[in-house]
Amino acid sequence: MNLKGRDFISTQDWTKEELLSALDKAADLKKKFKQGIPHRELPDKTVFLFFFDKSTRTRNSFEAGITQLGGHGHFIEAHTSQIAHGESPKDMGIILSGYGHGIAIRHDLVPGEGNRYMREVAKYAEIPVLNMQCDVDHPFQMMADLMTIREKFGPDLKGKKIAVSWAYAPSYAKPMSVPQGLIMLMTRFGMDVTLAHPPEYSLMEETLATAKSNANESGGRFKIVDSMEEAFKDADVVYPKSWGIQSMFDRPEEALEISKKYKHWICDSDKMKLAGPDSIYMHCLPADRGYEVTDEVIDGPHSVVYQEAENRLHTCKAIMALTM
């Protein structure tokens, strides 16, 4: 399957067959990495890594990944570049297309901005534009999540239940892209997706509509509830995570005050007992320990967070190798 030159801005932009091809590639690269087999598939290739927000797993999976593929990653904090002085997405896309082989961008904290910015860069770039997380989706995280779920439950996920739940965190108003990415991707693979959140924490309407449409097409199910306990009941996968209030990202302190009403939205051992006996706990990390999740759960036998984080490297490498 030829994916050379393709952008990867949302999983929704690729067919299921293309996504599965990328997962096959990731599994092959993971095996080679484990066995110490060199796989320099992108010799002398350059990817530009623009960050409008902080990062640990994303930055390191891209930098380590491109190095292992034989190329080089240029890390750029957006505020240190001419973007901070108003350089246009058009100019950046055209110019960097003449310098290298891929442009990766993280721009996730302002609803309505990040995804639009990336697509504007992609409109003018002649090299792939890769979404390291925007306001709408976090496609590389989603691919790692899907890879992990398939490793645990096999390739046929039809009828498996995943609970995507809001959880309390006092640290900051986190992006909405992870729960939105989850409901859009997992419904494509026939999963029973239950989204749970307090009333203030609704997701973007277009992502909800996409999830419903995907579920109808795949034969899966999608529903929204207002209880973490209801979502967890008989779930095969639980993914409790905090996110911010869509209309209040410009008022973070006020939003965090509202969140204090819901401190009981925590993933603890009692809630895990509601899930299936072979259920897995997932989180994109970093998790707010003691708030989003207890140590007993995240460090316990149901947790796959480190396997999930490890798969970030391999899915990242696979998509770069296929597109660049």
Extents of the domains making up the chain: 11-138+312-323, 141-308
pTM: 0.97
Please give the DSSP secondary-structure letter assigned to residue 55: -
Mean pLDDT of 214-220: 98
Which class in CATH covers the domain with range 11-138+312-323?
alpha beta
Q: How far apart are CA 139 and CA 252, in angstroms?
A: 25
Mean pLDDT of 269-297: 98
For residue 249 the two structure tokens come to 């990202």
Q: Which amino acid is at 47?
A: V
How far out from the chain centre does Cα 280 lie? 17
pLDDT of residue 249: 95
What's the chain's Rg over C-alpha atoms? 19
What is the average pLDDT score of the chain? 98
Does the fold of domain 141-308 match that of domain 11-138+312-323? yes
DSSP 165-213: EE---SS----SHHHHHHHHHHGGGT-EEEEE--GGG---HHHHHHHHH
The burial of 140, by beta-carbon neighbours within 10 Å (0-12 exposed, 13-18 middle, 19 or more buried), is given as buried
> Which element (helix H / strand E) includes 139?
helix 139-153
pLDDT of residue 1: 84
> Is residue 216 predicted with pLDDT exceeding 90?
yes
Mean pLDDT of 22-50: 98
We find that the CATH architecture of domain 141-308 is 3-Layer(aba) Sandwich (3.40)
pLDDT of residue 18: 98
Q: How far apart are CA 94 and CA 110, in angstroms?
A: 25
Are 246 and 176 a contacting pair, CB within 8 Å?
yes
Q: How many helices (H) and strands (E) does the chain have?
A: 12, 9
